[in-house]
Amino acid sequence: MKKNIVIVGLGLIGGSLAKAFTQYTDCRVAGIDTDPAALEAALACGAVTKVGDDNDLRSADIVYLCLYPQADIDFVKGHLSAFSPHTIVTDVCGIKTEVCRALTALSKKGGFPYCGAHPMAGTEKHGFSASRADLFQGASYILVPCSAPAQVQELLRQTAFTLGFGRSVTTTPEEHDQMIAFTSQLPHALACAYVMSPRCLGHRGFSAGSYRDVSRVANINEVMWAELFLDNRAALTAELDTLLENLSDIRSAVAENDRNKLEALLRQGRLIKEELGE
Amino acid sequence: MKKNIVIVGLGLIGGSLAKAFTQYTDCRVAGIDTDPAALEAALACGAVTKVGDDNDLRSADIVYLCLYPQADIDFVKGHLSAFSPHTIVTDVCGIKTEVCRALTALSKKGGFPYCGAHPMAGTEKHGFSASRADLFQGASYILVPCSAPAQVQELLRQTAFTLGFGRSVTTTPEEHDQMIAFTSQLPHALACAYVMSPRCLGHRGFSAGSYRDVSRVANINEVMWAELFLDNRAALTAELDTLLENLSDIRSAVAENDRNKLEALLRQGRLIKEELGE
């Protein structure tokens, strides 16, 4: 596999894509970023071979947009004439309805194929310095094709497997955003709310795995996540309401010393995990 | 270190203590359990050398009570004359106020030293089959001495380090229970409430680390945890109220599309984790 790749935005995901392309494929990788330090670091470690320009966008086989949602849209708007009809444009945004609508419209205007995607990988760290070639090992690559032709989807999927992804699912922007509100956004909201307890700063010596796991992603990039939350606010609000209701039920059972009710609620949790085989 | 140890209750914690004593020390370990299968499994793998009886309790240097809270109390009540004045009795219960009060009273009546403790280790699995010699590696051993003499505390602490524990803190039953409501009970309540979302059963392909981490302990032993929750209901209710309030604040900021408020709330999460160096 020897293709021309352009990565726009060398943060955690963009940087990891660049490193994975460099380590696992023969592709040529050009990087674009407004931060000179990120470009320098990516060049220095060989994650990209050059700083990308309009010529690279024009000759690219795949362009990965790895900025925040609105910044991705703005970038494509600002470079609309630079994309050729042979360049596949994709993104890695954590929400899809707004991004896919805007980028699909721009791809029609610019005459190039666009296919939305969301690599289900990340850490609580961010920036190029946290990026790793093996970030995607075994992860799920979600494709949100909208109007992308089948061969475009297939190329992106095969490329993802080359980078280490372990599975791929295909869905609509709306279904994606509803699922992600639960699987990803809710745990981040939860982690932040959890560590706000006055007890948190004194946890050392009194904590173990369950503290560590639920609090991990409270180390959040609040600017990016606020944008992701608000772009998906109907679905996330609904998930937060569901969680608040279920948590209030547990709270009532505890406060009312109702053992049967409490056991029944906790049992639900266990049975769901058992049904999932987890 | 060649002491006589009796483990009462060969579940996850008792079984792991038995395996750790056998693997890392020269102690003789006798096991007591009402389940013949657990005893058989512990004998078969060499975690205990014999089934414990009243003579073993009488000649024990340390007895570890590893049943549920009320069952620990009932066991000591039922074997009060079996403990000698030289036998240290300790427990591993996840809550301490009720347990320490009852066992301290019984230890005075029976004339043997009692020192409460809580090994901060566990997994989402339970029973002897889930037990492991290395479960306590690096974990915190919480001592809740009540009226235990200093040399009793010191022996238990040194023994814990021999078993792999990495640190030890000493506290009161009340402080323990308030901290544990936050560090351990709340994440378990949260995990169960989280997986109750109708989205949960369809998460595959749409989830990654943050789903895995927050949902892990939903695979709960609901009978044991309901007892632990209810024995600590004032502290846990207070923590649940704090969490519900903080989560509702995030919910409002999302629903009202208030970016400044949302960023400020999420930033609090990040700053707390940064202050903790996590």
**Over A177-246, what HEC string results?**
HHHHHHHHHHHHHHHHHHHCCCCHHHCCCCCCHHHHHHHHHHCCCHHHHHHHHHHCHHHHHHHHHHHHHH
A30 C-beta neighbours (distance < 10 Å), count: 23
Residue A101's Cβ-count burial label (10 Å; 0-12, 13-18, 19+) is middle
Structure tokens at A186: 């809710």
Residues B152-184 pLDDT 10s: 999 999 999 999 999 999 999 999 999 999 999
Query: In the predicted model, is pLDDT for residue B126 greater than 90?
Result: no
Residues for chain A: how many in total?
A: 278
Task: Phi first, then psi: give them for residue B96, nearest 5 degrees.
Answer: -125, -30
pLDDT recorded at residue B176 = 97
Query: What's the mean pLDDT in B124-143?
Result: 94
CB contact (8 A) between residue A207 and residue B183: yes
A52-to-A3, A17, A89, A127, B229 alpha-carbon distances in Å = 14, 15, 15, 19, 57
Structure tokens at A108: 């029609």
CB contact (8 A) between residue A183 and residue B191: no
Residues A47-71 pLDDT 10s: 999 999 999 999 999 999 999 999 9
Q: Which of B271, B276, B241, B136 is nearest to A203 (CA)?
A: B276
Q: How far apart are CA B141 and CA B67, in angstroms?
A: 18
Nearest CA-CA distance, residue A263 and chain B, Å: 5
CB contact (8 A) between residue A222 and residue B267: yes
pLDDT recorded at residue B175 = 96
Query: What's the mean pLDDT in A149-168?
Result: 97
Domains of chain B: 4-171 (3.40.50.720), 176-275 (1.10.3660.10)
- Could you give the percent of chain B with pLDDT greater than 70? 100
Query: What's the mean pLDDT in B17-30?
Result: 97
CB contact (8 A) between residue B268 and residue A192: yes
Task: Assign B122 a pLDDT band (cuts: 50, 70, 90).
Answer: confident
Residues A66-117 pLDDT 10s: 999 999 999 999 999 999 999 999 999 999 999 999 999 999 999 999 999 9
User: Among A244, A246, A265, whose Cβ lies nearest the Cβ of B251?
Assistant: A244
Structure tokens at A144: 């949100």
Task: Assign A122 a pLDDT band (cuts: 50, 70, 90).
Answer: confident
Nearest CA-CA distance, residue A62 and chain B, Å: 23
CB contact (8 A) between residue B214 and residue A255: no
Query: What's the mean pLDDT in B89-102?
Result: 96
- CB contacts < 8 A, A to B, total 327
Nearest CA in chain B to A121: B208
User: Among A202, A210, A241, whose Cβ lies nearest the Cβ of B217?
Assistant: A210
